Amino acid sequence: MGWPRQAYSAALHLAAPLLWRRLRREHGLTDPRPLRLGRIPETPPDTRMLWLHCASVGEVQAARPLIEELLARYPRHTLTVTTMTATGAERVRALAEGQQDSRLSHHFVPLDFPRAASSFVERLRPELALFFETELWPNLLHACRHREIPVAVVNGRLSARALEGYRRLRPLMREALGCVDWLAAKSSEDAARFAELGMAPRRTTVVGSLKFDIGLEDGARQVSERLRQLLGRPRVWVAGSTHAGEESRLLAAHALLREHTPEALLVLVPRHPQRFDEVASLCESHGEVPARRSRSEWPGQGTSVYLADTMGELSALYGAADLAFVGGSLVPVGGHNLLEPAALGVPVLTGPELANFMDVAEALRAADALVETPDEEALAEALIALFADPAERRRLGEAGRDVVAANRGALAKTLKGLDRLLPVK
């Protein structure tokens, strides 16, 4: 083991008590240790395995077209998708149910201790390992290289902010990236940042963003239409994937909106399920008693907030709205997927924090298909203006949908590159 990875592994072991505490909160009553130490069932000898690792629910959603194509192109293989979070796990299970394909399964990714990583890879025995975006775990990558398993980083993304942090770990990242056989970079800027950390340019291809290859789930439009009928309001806006510190600002914007448009309904969709009750209490502290989707409640005459406290329904909720605000952008999180509502032809609003989706934001900006608001007052003003202007709403929705259509193609390029690592037979 090289000294950078040795030092990294030692630091990880020192941080273990904090990691286990965090994972216990994530898993609730379930003991996370067996799940996170690579103690998974061994892949049967007659099973051919593919492995895709995504961080959480947003990455799983972005990877959905790739997941579907992998299952179609490798019909003799089983696909295991790993995630770090429980919400990501729920999304994988929902995809498996929707696909009705027993070849798609989920495991939690192990903590990146050397022995846990080695045990996981040895038991899973994948023929190909795919890491989504910036999921670079040195010991897992080394375990794949040790077993001569080809590794690709797909939709490779490295923000300027992330690069600053990784620069301090350059020897470790050089060693980790040395285990990557192919990087499918999202943009030339991302490719250059990976190269600065040690990724060989000859093993890098700029393919574009897989997020633009987003597809509509079967029946999603019908679900959205039915939701819209049940919501029963002429003016509906959705705030999706919201975070702590953000909901209070959104509720303040909604209060300002209702001074001009009293019939408006806010559909609030928190990012993390462990915060559902907290957000319900926050709504009440703002004078709103929300109807809660988890209780099969629907907005009554005196209800102006609908709390969508369920998982896996954000796309359908976006499709039921006149306007969509994408969360994680009024607080320093970096934003979430602006393309989900855009692909549905729903006008997209966002806050200023877009570090994680800068390329997507720039594409929407260039087409005048993105409404950016620095704070809750500006958001309220934008909502008031757009609810009063159906023609502008229609223009924004069509422009966003056109941006998604014009930028498709990364999926085909990614699959072509993967075919060199694991030919389709």
Catalytic residue from among 26, 42, 59, 217: 59
**d(C-alpha 314, C-alpha 195), whole Å:** 36
Nearest CA among 126, 123, 146 for reference residue 52: 126
The question of whether 247 is a catalytic residue gets the answer no
Q: What angle do CA 228, 231, 234 make, to 5 degrees?
A: 75
Strand order in the sheet with 126-132: 104-108, 77-83, 48-53, 126-132, 151-156, 182-185, 204-206
The DSSP annotation for 177-232 comes to: HTT-SEEEESSHHHHHHHHHHT--GGGEEE---GGGG--PPTTHHHHHHHHHHHH-
Give the list of residues 6+ apart from residue 337 with CB closer than 8 angstroms, or none: 58, 61, 62, 211, 214, 241, 326, 357, 360
Report CA-CA distances (Å) from 88 to 247, 250, 366, 374: 22, 25, 32, 29
Spell out the residues 6+ positions from residue 209 whose beta carbon is closer than 8 angstroms to its own.
155, 186, 187, 359, 360, 407, 410
Whether the Cβ atoms of residue 212 and residue 339 lie closer than 8 Å to each other:
yes
Residue 86 has a CB neighbour count (10 Å cut-off) of 22
- And the tokens for 38? 């690579």
The residues, ordered by sequence, that sit 6+ positions from 290 with a Cβ below 8 Å of its Cβ are 268, 280, 283, 284, 303, 305, 306, 307
In 279-359, DSSP assigns E strands to: 291-292, 305-307, 323-326, 348-350
Q: Which of 387, 273, 239 is nearest to 322 (CA)?
A: 387
| DSSP-assigned states of every residue in 130-191 | EEETT---HHHHHHHHHTT--EEEEEE---HHHHHHHHTTHHHHHHHHTT-SEEEESSHHHH
CB atoms within 10 A of CB 415: 18
Structure tokens at 401: 């949908």
Which residues are known catalytic residues? Answer: 59
